[in-house]
Structure 1
Amino acid sequence: MDEDLRDRIKEQAEIDALYNAIEHESEAQVGAIMGPLMGENPEFREYGDEIPGVIAPVVERVNELSHEQRRERLDELAPERLEEIDAEEEEDDQALPDLPNAEEGEVRMRVAPNPNGPWHIGHARMAAVVGTYKELYDGSFICRFDDTDPETKRPDLDAYEQILDAIEYLGFEPDEVLKASDRLETYYDHARDLIDAGGAYTCSCSGDDFSELKNAGEACPHRDKDTETVHEEFTEMIEGEYSSGEMVLRVKTDIEHKNPALRDWVGFRMIDTPHPREEAAEYRCWPMLDFQSGVDDHLTGVTHIIRGIDLQDSAKRQQFVYDYFDWEYPEVIHWGHVEIDEYDVPMSTSTISELIEDGELDGWDDPRAPTIESLRRRGIRGEAIVEAMTELGMSTSNVDLAMSSVYANNRELIDDETDRAFFVREEDGGAVEKSLSGGPATASVPIHPDHEDRGTREIPTDDGVLVESDDLPPTGERVWLKGFGCVRHTEDRFEYTGDDLDVTREEDVDIVHWVPAGENVSLRLRTPDGDVSGYAEPGVSGYGPDDRLQFERVGFVRIDAVDEERVAYYTHS
């Protein structure tokens, strides 16, 4: 390889490394830029074995630059590549597609939770997207609690307020809040109108009998009852004269429809179990979700509905009701399910409830639980969740949410304002105590490395230090105690060497955190992997509940309790 070619490779590699580092806001990797380098420069390919060695020093120099320095350098070498990144960022600012047939100021959407428990992380997606669309279109949205199943999805009385709190935590406020269980008389009135329109009939067939008829495309023997009889029997349903399973009101569709699921579906059924809300406890005749939701979407002026791809039949069922009433159906956007990585606990309200009841989780805010309450207690801001959810877009395929994206968003929000501190974990080999020989009596460490004006933390060293066992160097080797200086490990102590900071770069001396052995703060750190006990530097005692800290080399935390025991919740790295 001649020098001219070598220089060309270095020049292109610097551009690709800068682009890679800026785009991902992280260090560039040789492997990551090899593909673009070879793909865009076919003449380099025959030297593929030599190129990694040529470009490695170039990548290393790029990684030593700050983000702003990288931008300035790329603007100098290849301004069009920087414009490309900026254009992509502008597109990413609105990851959501435009709503179909939407008019500014006229969009009205809904979040329709079942209040059978607090929200897990997956529930946040609907509120995040609907709330964002409201802002984009200067529209409005409703929170409608679909609580018309007091038996199989029995409402939890606390969940109504917990869900509204979760929506507020995400940064949104519904323009209207409704409970379907308050609206039974409205559904009854529309059922009566549907009967008058010839669109519904009462049916006392057993479930098995009707299923057999339906699958054969044969009409139920009750299908042609006269309107007066249907009204009488529906009134008896409302008055509670039937038990569960004895009578239903069916929406008359097409008994020979190619999709059996759409054939004469149930609009109302009897439920013996009283509703937990006192205002609804006397009702026994309850609408099915497709009837209730369909009526409510029309009456509340919903213009756009988002629902799971697995619920496509809902729109088709409801369309029959809309046709009877000559209503216009809202625009529908279907999306796939969202899966969350990182958690061992399933993202299921019923499963989480069972684990709490069995004592395997402490509650909905246990850091091991994939719930909104858990993320909030860990110190993650709702805005970080919203941004991650909207970045998923609206694909009809199932999508994966990496919690790392939530953490990255949150890190950007809190890093600049969060003070630093040291925390030594008492785990595995435990914290190791060492006396100090020589060096300053007090270490001086910045409260925040990027803000000198915030001052320093003065940490005493008179009584020696505690370090994590993994950070203890072999006897005779050196380590740099952050804020104190370089020490050599002897058999029973650390001896101050006075070496310059350059030894950490030129001689691979590790930089480690530590706390004073005598004056420190016992603290329990609650993490998704379990609790960790340890010791924090003395200044941590000055922080109270809801304060955030970054324990250097450990991660961000939120102080939770300071009374009988000092407790912090791990946020993320």
Structure 2
Amino acid sequence: MDDELRERVEAAGEAAALFNALKHGNDPDVGAIMGPLMGENPDFRPHGDEIPGVVAPVVNRVAGMDEAERRERLGELAPDKLAELDADEEEDERVLPDLPNAEEGEVVMRAAPNPNGPWHVGHARMPAVIGTYKERYDGEFICRFDDTDPETKRPDLDAYDAILEDIEYLGFEPDRVLRASDRLETYYDHARDLIDAGGAYTCSCSGDGFSELKNAGEACPHREKDAETVHEEFSAMVNGEFSAGEMVLRVRTDIEHKNPALRDWVAFRMIDTPHPREAAADYRCWPMLDFQSGVDDHLTGVTHIIRGIDLQDSAKRQRFVYDYFDWEYPEVLHWGHVQVDEYDVKLSTSTIKELIETGELTGWDDPRAPTIRSMRRRGIRGQALVDSMTELGMSTSDVDLAMSSVYANNRDLVDDEANRYFLVRDRDDAPAVELPVVDGDAPAPAAGHPPLHPDHDDRGDREVPAGRIAIESPDLPSEGERVWLKGYGCVRHEGDELVFVDADIDVVREGDVDVVHWAPAEEGLDTLLRTVSGDVRGIAEPALAEVDPDTVVQFVRVGFARIDGFDPEATDEPDGPGGSEDLLAYYAHP
């Protein structure tokens, strides 16, 4: 990198750090500014490996400034950025389009999860959007568990409550909760009515045999059975007198329809595997999703349906049933799939379940798992996820959810209440360094007193013992150079010691020394920080022992984290640390 480019990177990095610090009211972090910095300066990208090292000292200088100094400096470097911060523009909260033909107080929408496991992050989109529309129109939110496939998408008995907990975490409460497996008799009654209307017939063709006929636009030999025979055979299906594959009930549509997928589709089939719910274990005749869902949407008064663009044929199939019964079909909105970045694990319930069963993940709340439970344990607010999902809008194209947007929304929610603490990480590539702080030009204070929150003097400060301290090795200055220990003062590196210089903050404001965090090496808490990338050990300041579990804090220059607990056994998990740490925390984001 030549000198001219270096100067540009330093200037742009300083502006980004100042903007980030002023926007979020905390010290900037190299990781937090890299995305905007590279996005706004495409010519920096070929030097991506070098840039963090160039901007790190600049970020440290910004960390040593107070708010007034930051505002003044940003006004010098990037007045447009300062104007952006100061602009009092009312944000448009209605990022979702209005529903077609929607009336206040009359909108009824449903989320219809398959309870085959707790929800991954992508599942949050449906309740986030439905819940938002419910609030907009003073409508109704139904959660209906579509659990009528006890074999290929076998329900997980724990998932029913887990999904309701996920909906609650997102900030919503369904007005009604239904389980399709409780409603078999209702579906049977409507099947009988459909038979009477001439809209259904029983078929014993093999799957391959019917497929050949269907694709050729030819009717199967069972299509013209009389209603009495169809009723008899359907009753035999309900009574479990057939095995899987021996008999189905088909909806009579148009055998020459231009879309073969709509030709005489299956409404009921036989399944030999018992349902895991005791109340449904004796049933063997099960409705297909298009029949069950279509009947339920009508009976529960659903006015608007949201479904994936890949499910367009569902509405077309269901309209045949609606036409037989002279029902009005709900409004339908389609959207594309959500793709989530950051995670190495595929966004799939079955994949996550398999990784848990093989021990590669410790559970549904493992921080490496792209699940809602994991986000909750990491201390990410449900509202942050809801805001990010609704910001995606209703595009029929596939959309990308950048986790950085979730983190930015969450930062806005937690920053003001999250107290600050020090955690010195002891990483393989950057081990912690322990050195004593000794008297120098002035007596070395026995402790540092950094504030609990830089914007809330009323919260007071923490006492951090400063006899022998630990700092991260990249923060250790060269021999003879100085560094500012946050909340303590300026020290100089001499041999195996840090010599106290003074507590005059001017050395930082003049840009002569970097500002770093630290922790007491002996009185500190052995800490395990669980992250999306894996476990990180370190030493945290002792004041954290007074913090209640489930509290979100900010580890200075590291990021936000949720305190999980202090019981050493809490870390004794498969592939875990072995249970020796004093403190377990889950990393949320920068």
TM > 0.5 between the two? yes
Match of 2:459 among 451, 454, 464: 454
Deviations 1:210-257 (A, max 9, x none): 000000000011000001000000000000010000000000000000
> Greater shift after overlay, 543-552 or 310-319?
543-552
Q: 1:356 to 1:66 in 2, by over 3 A?
A: farther
| 1: CA distance, partners of 2:38 / 2:556 | 29
Structure 2 residue aligned with 1:495: 499
1:567 paired with 2:568, answer no
Q: 1:316 to 1:490 in 2, by over 3 A?
A: same
| 2: CA distance, partners of 1:125 / 1:34 | 32
Structure 2 residue aligned with 1:444: 449
Is contact 1:25–1:67 with CA below 8 Å preserved after alignment?
no
Deviations 1:342-380 (A, max 9, x none): 000001000000000000000000000000000000001
Is contact 1:356–1:363 with CA below 8 Å preserved after alignment?
yes
| CA apart distance, 1:327 | 0.2
| 1: CA distance, partners of 2:19 / 2:365 | 36
| 2: CA distance, partners of 1:30 / 1:385 | 24
| CA apart distance, 1:517 | 2.1
Q: Which amino acid aligns with 1:247?
A: M
| CA apart distance, 1:30 | 9.7
Deviations 1:172-226 (A, max 9, x none): 0000000000000000000000000000000000000000000000001100000
Deviations 1:88-120 (A, max 9, x none): x532x1110000000000000000000000000
Q: Helix, strand or coil: the match of 2:302?
A: coil
Match of 1:522 among 497, 521, 526: 526
| 1: CA distance, partners of 2:169 / 2:503 | 49
Q: 1:121 to 1:510 in 2, by over 3 A?
A: same
> Greater shift after overlay, 367-376 or 513-522?
513-522
Q: Helix, strand or coil: the match of 1:456?
A: coil
| 1: CA distance, partners of 2:198 / 2:261 | 20
| 2: CA distance, partners of 1:330 / 1:144 | 16
Structure 2 residue aligned with 1:265: 265
Q: Helix, strand or coil: the match of 2:393?
A: coil
Q: Helix, strand or coil: the match of 1:416?
A: coil
Q: Which amino acid aligns with 2:435?
A: K
| 2: CA distance, partners of 1:424 / 1:547 | 19
| 1: CA distance, partners of 2:279 / 2:341 | 40
| 2: CA distance, partners of 1:306 / 1:404 | 26
| 2: CA distance, partners of 1:34 / 1:529 | 27
Identity over aligned pairs, percent? 70
- 5+ unaligned residues in a row in structure 2: which ranges? 1-14, 43-61, 569-580
| CA apart distance, 1:507 | 4.0
| 2: CA distance, partners of 1:392 / 1:321 | 33
Q: 1:499 to 1:164 in 2, by over 3 A?
A: closer
Residues 474-513 of structure 1: pairs in structure 2 closer than 5 A: 474-498=478-502, 500-513=504-517
Q: 1:314 to 1:67 in 2, by over 3 A?
A: farther
Structure 2 residue aligned with 1:422: 422
Q: 1:125 to 1:474 in 2, by over 3 A?
A: same
Q: Helix, strand or coil: the match of 1:250?
A: strand
| 1: CA distance, partners of 2:501 / 2:558 | 26
Q: Helix, strand or coil: the match of 1:90?
A: coil
Q: Which amino acid aligns with 1:130?
A: I
1:544 paired with 2:548, answer yes
| 2: CA distance, partners of 1:449 / 1:528 | 28
Is contact 1:111–1:142 with CA below 8 Å preserved after alignment?
yes
| 2: CA distance, partners of 1:554 / 1:451 | 20
Structure 2 residue aligned with 1:468: 472
Deviations 1:438-490 (A, max 9, x none): 221221110101111111111121x3211111111111111111111111111
Is contact 2:418–2:554 with CA below 8 Å preserved after alignment?
yes
| 2: CA distance, partners of 1:537 / 1:207 | 67
| 2: CA distance, partners of 1:152 / 1:197 | 31
| CA apart distance, 1:518 | 2.2
Is contact 2:23–2:85 with CA below 8 Å preserved after alignment?
no
> Greater shift after overlay, 132-141 or 514-523?
514-523
Aligned length: 524
Q: Helix, strand or coil: the match of 2:588?
A: strand
Q: Helix, strand or coil: the match of 2:282?
A: coil
Structure 2 residue aligned with 1:231: 231
| CA apart distance, 1:555 | 0.8
Q: Which amino acid aligns with 1:294?
A: G
> Greater shift after overlay, 483-492 or 115-124?
483-492
| 2: CA distance, partners of 1:119 / 1:31 | 33
1:124 paired with 2:124, answer yes
Q: 1:85 to 1:129 in 2, by over 3 A?
A: farther
| 1: CA distance, partners of 2:586 / 2:19 | 31
| CA apart distance, 1:502 | 3.1
Q: Helix, strand or coil: the match of 1:324?
A: helix
Q: Helix, strand or coil: the match of 2:463?
A: strand
Q: 1:226 to 1:34 in 2, by over 3 A?
A: closer
| CA apart distance, 1:506 | 3.1
Q: Helix, strand or coil: the match of 2:499?
A: strand
Which of 1 and 2 has higher RCO (CA within 8 Å, sep 6+)?
2
| 2: CA distance, partners of 1:345 / 1:34 | 30
| 2: CA distance, partners of 1:347 / 1:436 | 49
| 2: CA distance, partners of 1:567 / 1:94 | 39
| CA apart distance, 1:83 | 12
> Greater shift after overlay, 482-491 or 386-395?
482-491
Is contact 2:521–2:539 with CA below 8 Å preserved after alignment?
no
| 2: CA distance, partners of 1:465 / 1:190 | 74
> Greater shift after overlay, 499-508 or 430-439?
499-508
Structure 2 residue aligned with 1:367: 367
| 1: CA distance, partners of 2:85 / 2:532 | 40
Q: 1:32 to 1:144 in 2, by over 3 A?
A: closer
| CA apart distance, 1:171 | 0.4
1:106 paired with 2:123, answer no
| 2: CA distance, partners of 1:68 / 1:183 | 63
Q: Helix, strand or coil: the match of 1:457?
A: coil
| 2: CA distance, partners of 1:350 / 1:110 | 23
Residues 157-176 of structure 1: pairs in structure 2 closer than 5 A: 157-176=157-176
> Greater shift after overlay, 559-568 or 348-357?
559-568
| 1: CA distance, partners of 2:397 / 2:449 | 53
Q: 1:103 to 1:541 in 2, by over 3 A?
A: same
Q: Which amino acid aligns with 2:589?
A: H
1:557 paired with 2:561, answer yes
Structure 2 residue aligned with 1:402: 402
Is contact 1:544–1:562 with CA below 8 Å preserved after alignment?
no
Q: Which amino acid aligns with 2:473?
A: S
Structure 2 residue aligned with 1:276: 276
| 2: CA distance, partners of 1:179 / 1:544 | 38
| 2: CA distance, partners of 1:552 / 1:194 | 66
Q: Helix, strand or coil: the match of 2:502?
A: coil
Residues 76-155 of structure 1: pairs in structure 2 closer than 5 A: 89-91=90-92, 93-155=93-155
Q: 1:455 to 1:30 in 2, by over 3 A?
A: closer
| 2: CA distance, partners of 1:480 / 1:259 | 72
Structure 2 residue aligned with 1:303: 303
Structure 1 residue aligned with 2:436: 435
Q: 1:185 to 1:21 in 2, by over 3 A?
A: same
Residues 206-355 of structure 1: pairs in structure 2 closer than 5 A: 206-355=206-355
* TM score, norm. by length of structure 1: 0.87
| 1: CA distance, partners of 2:206 / 2:291 | 21
> Greater shift after overlay, 487-496 or 252-261?
487-496
| 2: CA distance, partners of 1:339 / 1:98 | 24
Q: Helix, strand or coil: the match of 2:449?
A: strand
| 1: CA distance, partners of 2:70 / 2:309 | 43
